[in-house]
Amino acid sequence: MSLRDTIRARLAGRTGPAYWRSLEELAGEVGFAGWIEEEFPGLAQAFGQALGRRHVLRMIGASLSLAGLAGCSPAAPDVEMAVPVEEPGMEPGSIRHYATATTLGGIATGVLVTHADARPIKIEGNPDHPASLGATSVFDQAALLQLYDPDRAATVTRGGAIATPGEAFGALRARLDALAAAQGAGLHILSGAFSSPTLAAQRAALIAAYPRARWHGHEPASRANVWRGAALAFGREAEPLPALDRAEIILAVDSDLLSAAPGHLSYVRAFAARRAPTAGMNRLYVWEATPSLTGAAADHRFAVPPRDTFRLLQKLAALIAGGSAGEAPGWLLPLAQDLAAHRGAALLHVGPEQPPETHTLAHLINQALAAPIRLIAPVLAPQSSDLADLCRDIAAGGVDTLIMLGGDPVYSAAGDLGFAELLARVPHRFHLAPYRNATAEASEWVIPEAHELESWSDARAFDGSVTIQQPQLRPLHGGSSAHQLLAVLLGSVDADPRAPVLAEWQRRAHAAGQASGFETFWQDALRKGLVADSAQPSLDLSPKIAIAALAAPPVADGLALLFRTDAALWDGRFANNGWLQELPHPLTTLTWDNAALIAPADAAQRDLATGDVVRLAIGRHAIEAPVWIQPGQAAGSITLPLGYGQVRGGRIATGVGFDAYRLRSHDAPWQQGGATLDRLGRTVAFAATQHQPTMQGRDLLRTVSLADLADAASGWDPERPEPSLYPGAEADRPAWGMAIDLSRCVGCGACMVACQAENNVPVVGKEEVQRGRAMHWLRIDRYYQGGEAAPRTLFQPVLCMHCENAPCEVVCPVDATVHDREGLNVMVYNRCIGTRFCSNNCPYKVRRFNFFDYAGAEARPAAARNPDVTVRSRGVMEKCTYCLQRIKTAEIAAERDGKALADGDVVTACQAACAARAITFGDIRDPHSAVARAKANPLDYAVLGELGTRPRTSYAARLSNPNPAIGEES
């Protein structure tokens, strides 16, 4: 069957060559690895290393979590492991958290990694970290799956043949010695963007030792435009940090403020906090060419074609200055007045895709508005030269040895650089490879890169705060970190992964004259996951240029192609991550694919339908891509999400979507004009999770504008408890309930991935999603309101409502879904025989069914699963449990220690992940609990309450704050 094939192909853990090679490496450990292999496949690599305590303990954990595989696999092993050596505090069943950080484009988000039996099973945000504040992004959540990905590069190879790390490092030294005479001329290093002080120091040391060596930086999603814009305005590069907590009027121009900007979690937190009438509700205007989450959250969103942005901004500046704008859209004047009227509390934010001039202009306007914006020096280590320079050097024949630290430059280089061809000309190519990706294929030496959760390092957050990253376990695939590799280059003999980081911070302590207190500082930094007051100081900069003097950037004429990072795969680094591949894109609900987003008008004019494959060409470069008709897309522009269409780099990554990098130009990375579009007559079938764009006039997602707040809420019929013959919740037990504030939710999807990670929700693959069998317990419905050209986008997270009169319960013939004393609608997998009547009878359609043995087909080591959640077998129904395992853990702990359960003791996975704090959970019976207070909100309502289901999950209507002078939601 095609579909089973796909599941197998995409997900199944077939023991590919790479797999066994890693075992062959184990000198003297083969037999040992052998039986672990049979015990828990996938973990085998973990034991490739010399044994340490954590391995053995992890092994216990693995047996426990295997015991979770109900029916998915032949009976769990009847074996209880007894460790040789007990470690203090490392007892089975213990749950611990260790602080570290994940990075994206070199910028850190602080996280806490949850360990069950000393192995990472979940990632939570670090409340003390400025970029997290306890929340996580989809990428942070999915990092866990990445860590356990069996497809990661696992062996050192030379020209495809297996070698040992020793040989690889030996070869490196050899090259270095050869080039030493010429002061390192011919030695080139290519890295992604990084903020690591240690790496910066290592780089400095290397350049000092080999003055003529060159270091190039390559980051597909670079923020260079932002810094150049600041340089143009203030004479030095800077990163603006908007203080949204103080902003009343926000104008986001092609801005990723709420979805992708560094620190966006903290921005969402601050923004959402002011989406309530009581909090002095803010107003968000968005101009953008392609719909974004920021646009969806806006009170006024205007689809502005890229070519008009700068001109429009000039007019705005003029209006704010009190001048006239000439002919301009009707809404521009009220907008300008609104901004001007809130001097000191109004700000502009511009996305990195806009040319530097736009940023400069925005800076100048912000200055004029005395906007609550802090300027700091860019936190990323400056890169003096980039990939283009490298290409030039190669072309000039000046590159003898190229060391590529991580990433996949061959794939992610702009098409017009022809990097792949040039690379072949480099005599000695080393790649520190996360995957066996295109770059690894093109390299002579491939050294597996350790995942950042496996390695010692350090990284700065968006505001400069430093986190020292500590490894959560030994490298599963025996990889090395960039620090280790550089240490080797710098002549260190042992490649101790911690040494470089430790040394750097000791050096700093000495420099600061605090050598004595270092040990406490170090322990403290590791425990908190944050180096105390390491945030970047604000820069006090004044404009060096007048608005008038500002030259307009070159505009892209004709059909414009917009290149954007992908909501799920970012720049492609997450392409082999099943959770992210299957995460519906917030606006399109598309999974397992990217699509060329085209405006409805353009599609109509070219008579294109969603799924039609077109040929997009610029100059001699062309790609073929299926189109997706995207409401709200600016006419005359087509958006191409990056990160897809990889041909190497893992079973999941390859052959999904199209590769937009081929059309990308190094000089104009974000937008190009003059593209041609030809229809090819082929169509592809997308796997979207939602097919009905509108609410059909049904009262599911309520919206209210601040103006008519008073009468709106009062107009709603209060939820009157229907008389029921069934017993209610027990008086002396908590009554669990949830409140979701739609005004706060920005639809990012972090809750979906968090839920997937916490509850062992399987990935099912494209074909199954197409058949309507996606398994997410928590989904985010996306509804459009208004016309296709400029619709209003609404998000509604939907999970099991835990109805007090649950329709699913009465129809189950075997009592597999029942109510418990705390009002939870419990799903008993092991009792379910799979009639699916409960799903038919669920008006919210939140139940998911295991049509196949999805969990069994996943290429995921049992050890990576949450041991506290049963892994569901084929033929059983499943659904959201309100994180029952967390409830029980808290309750048992409380009972055991004779304490009462306090509000906030139970935090569901979705709630923990949510940056907007849109989700509140707790005991609704306790009037003082956060959730009870949230439900007291006059805007609180029950979806489909008229059915008498009395859901425990209720929603607060989405509040908007439109400018009366412009009118409701343009």
Partner 1 sequence: MAQIFGPGMDLAARSVLIALGLGAAAAIAFACAMPASDYRTAQHETIAQPVPFSHQHHVAGLGLDCRYCHGAVERAANAGMPATETCMTCHSQIWTHAEMLAPVRASLAEHRPLRWKKVNRLPDYVYFDHSIHIAKGVGCASCHGAVARMPLIRKEASLSMGWCLDCHRDPAPNLRPRAALFDTEWRRGDDTPSPADLMRAYHVRTAGLTDCSTCHR
Partner 2 sequence: MSDRLIAPGESFASVTDRVTGIVFDPPHRLGWWLLMLLALALVGLGTLAIGWLFVAGIGIWGINIPVAWGFAISNYVWWIGMASGGTMISSLFHVMRADWRSSVNRLAETMTLFAAACAGIFPILHLGRPYYFYWLFPYPNVMGLWPQFRSPLLWDFFAILTYVLCSMLFWYVGLIPDLATMRDRAPSRAGQIVYGLLALGWRGSALQWLRYQSAYRVLAGLMGPLVISVHSIVGLDFAGGLTPGWHSTQYPPFFVFGAVLSGFGIVLMLAIPLRRAYRLEALITPRHLDILARLTLLSSLAVGYAYAMDLFTAFYGDSRYDHDLALDRLIGHYAPLFWITILCNLLLPQALWWRRVRQDTRLLLVIGASVVLGMWCERILIVLQSLAHEYEPSRWGLFHPTFWDWATLLGTIGLFLAGLLLLLRLLPALSLFELRDLLARRGAAHG
Interacting residues toward partner 1 by CB under 8 A: 32, 51, 56, 59, 64, 67-71, 75-76, 78-86, 91-94, 730, 732-733, 818, 820-822, 824, 826, 828-831, 868-870, 881, 884-885, 888, 892, 895-896, 898
Instruction: Tell the residue number behind the tokens 């360990």, with chain if given.
Output: 115
Interaction of residue 542 with partner 2, rule CB under 8 A: no
CA distance 784 to 631: 8
In the complex with partner 2, the residue whose CB is nearer, 70 or 622, is 70
Minimum gap (Å) between residue 781 Cβ and partner 2 = 4
Interaction of residue 96 with partner 2, rule CB under 8 A: no
CA distance 419 to 416: 8
Burial of 88 (0-12, 13-18, 19+ CB in 10 A): exposed
Residue 812 binding: pick among partner 1, partner 2, none (C-beta 5-8 Å cut-off by kind): partner 2
Torsion angle (degrees, nearest 10) of CA 388, 391, 393, 395:
-140
CA distance 413 to 419: 7
In the complex with partner 1, the residue whose CB is nearer, 53 or 158, is 53
Residue 12 binding: pick among partner 1, partner 2, none (C-beta 5-8 Å cut-off by kind): none
Binder among 50, 182, 685, 810 for partner 2 (CB under 8 A): 810
Give the relative orientation of helices 499-511 and 197-209 as an angle to the nearest 10 degrees: 90
Minimum gap (Å) between residue 96 Cβ and partner 2 = 35
In the complex with partner 1, the residue whose CB is nearer, 20 or 829, is 829
Distance of CA 775 to the CA centre of its chain: 19
Minimum gap (Å) between residue 404 Cβ and partner 2 = 43
Minimum gap (Å) between residue 88 Cβ and partner 1 = 11
In the complex with partner 1, the residue whose CB is nearer, 93 or 418, is 93
Q: SS3 string of 896-963?
A: HCCCCCCCCCCCCHHHHHCCCCCEEEEECCCCCCHHHHHHCCCCEECCCHHHCCCCCEEEECEEECCC
Please say whether the beta carbons of 620 and 557 come within 8 A: no
Site residues for partner 2, window 714-773 (CB under 8 A)?
768, 771-773
Minimum gap (Å) between residue 57 Cβ and partner 1 = 10
Q: Which amino acid type is present at position 618?
A: I
Of 900, 940, 944, the closest CA to residue 801 belongs to: 944
In the complex with partner 2, the residue whose CB is nearer, 12 or 81, is 12
Residue 870 binding: pick among partner 1, partner 2, none (C-beta 5-8 Å cut-off by kind): partner 1
In the complex with partner 2, the residue whose CB is nearer, 462 or 852, is 852
In the complex with partner 1, the residue whose CB is nearer, 892 or 965, is 892
Binder among 8, 53, 236, 874 for partner 2 (CB under 8 A): 874
Three-state secondary-structure class, residue 104? strand
- Who's near 718: CB < 8 A, 6+ residues apart? none
Minimum gap (Å) between residue 787 Cβ and partner 2 = 18
Q: Which amino acid type is present at position 154?
A: A
Minimum gap (Å) between residue 118 Cβ and partner 1 = 13
Of 921, 911, 914, the closest CA to residue 954 belongs to: 921
In the complex with partner 2, the residue whose CB is nearer, 716 or 829, is 829
Three-state secondary-structure class, residue 417? helix
Burial of 927 (0-12, 13-18, 19+ CB in 10 A): exposed
Binder among 18, 761, 859, 877 for partner 2 (CB under 8 A): 877
In the complex with partner 2, the residue whose CB is nearer, 542 or 692, is 692
Site residues for partner 2, window 686-705 (CB under 8 A)?
690-692, 694-698, 700
Stretch binding partner 2 (CB under 8 A), from 189-197, 404-412, 428-436, 775-783: 775-783
Q: Kindly tell me the sign of the dihedral angle through the C-alpha atoms of 938, 940, 944, 950.
A: negative
Minimum gap (Å) between residue 298 Cβ and partner 2 = 22
User: Which residues of 131-218 form beta strands (DSSP E)?
Assistant: 157-158, 161-162, 187-191, 214-217
Residue 3 binding: pick among partner 2, partner 1, none (C-beta 5-8 Å cut-off by kind): partner 2
Residue 850 binding: pick among partner 1, partner 2, none (C-beta 5-8 Å cut-off by kind): partner 2
Minimum gap (Å) between residue 880 Cβ and partner 2 = 14
Number of amino acids touching partner 2 (CB under 8 A):
55
Please say whether the beta carbons of 572 and 544 come within 8 A: no
In the complex with partner 1, the residue whose CB is nearer, 93 or 674, is 93
Give the side-chain half-sphere CA count within 13 A for 288. Answer: 33
Please say whether the beta carbons of 119 and 907 come within 8 A: no
Pairing of strands 953-956, 736-741: parallel
Minimum gap (Å) between residue 725 Cβ and partner 1 = 20
Binding mask 826-865 for partner 2 (x = CB under 8 A): -----xxxxxxx-xxx-xxx-xxxxxxx------------
**Residue 512 forms beta bridges with which residues?**
none
Please say whether the beta carbons of 391 and 417 come within 8 A: yes
Stretch binding partner 2 (CB under 8 A), from 319-327, 648-656, 715-723, 874-882: 874-882
Minimum gap (Å) between residue 776 Cβ and partner 1 = 19
Of 921, 879, 893, 592, the closest CA to residue 759 belongs to: 879
Minimum gap (Å) between residue 841 Cβ and partner 2 = 5
In the complex with partner 1, the residue whose CB is nearer, 439 or 817, is 817
Residue 821 binding: pick among partner 2, partner 1, none (C-beta 5-8 Å cut-off by kind): partner 1
CA distance 673 to 561: 6
Minimum gap (Å) between residue 667 Cβ and partner 1 = 55
Minimum gap (Å) between residue 387 Cβ and partner 2 = 43
CA distance 76 to 81: 13
**Residue 430 forms beta bridges with which residues?**
403, 445
CA distance 635 to 229: 27
In the complex with partner 1, the residue whose CB is nearer, 69 or 422, is 69
Q: Kindly tell me the sign of the dihedral angle through the C-alpha atoms of 588, 590, 596, 602.
A: negative
Of 223, 328, 227, the closest CA to residue 670 belongs to: 223
Q: Which amino acid type is present at position 169?
A: F
Output Rg (C-alpha) for the chain, integer angstroms.
Answer: 28
CA distance 921 to 600: 40
Of 772, 781, 777, 740, the closest CA to residue 756 belongs to: 777
In the complex with partner 2, the residue whose CB is nearer, 608 or 846, is 846
Site residues for partner 2, window 925-944 (CB under 8 A)?
944
In the complex with partner 1, the residue whose CB is nearer, 78 or 327, is 78
CA distance 459 to 199: 9
Stretch binding partner 2 (CB under 8 A), from 202-210, 417-425, 449-457, 781-789: 781-789
Interaction of residue 798 with partner 2, rule CB under 8 A: yes
Q: Kindly tell me the sign of the dihedral angle through the C-alpha atoms of 205, 206, 210, 212.
A: negative
Residue 869 binding: pick among partner 2, partner 1, none (C-beta 5-8 Å cut-off by kind): partner 1
Interaction of residue 2 with partner 2, rule CB under 8 A: no
In the complex with partner 1, the residue whose CB is nearer, 384 or 830, is 830
Please say whether the beta carbons of 443 and 430 come within 8 A: yes
Minimum gap (Å) between residue 65 Cβ and partner 2 = 23
CA distance 115 to 56: 14
Minimum gap (Å) between residue 896 Cβ and partner 1 = 4
In the complex with partner 2, the residue whose CB is nearer, 925 or 952, is 952
Residue 874 binding: pick among partner 1, partner 2, none (C-beta 5-8 Å cut-off by kind): partner 2
Three-state secondary-structure class, residue 534? coil
Angle subtended at Cα 768 by Cα 764 and Cα 770, rounded to the nearest 5 degrees: 130
Provide the binding-site residues for partner 2, judged by CB under 8 A: 1, 3-4, 690-692, 694-698, 700, 768, 771-773, 779, 781-783, 798, 807, 810-815, 831-837, 839-841, 843-845, 847-853, 873-877, 944, 947
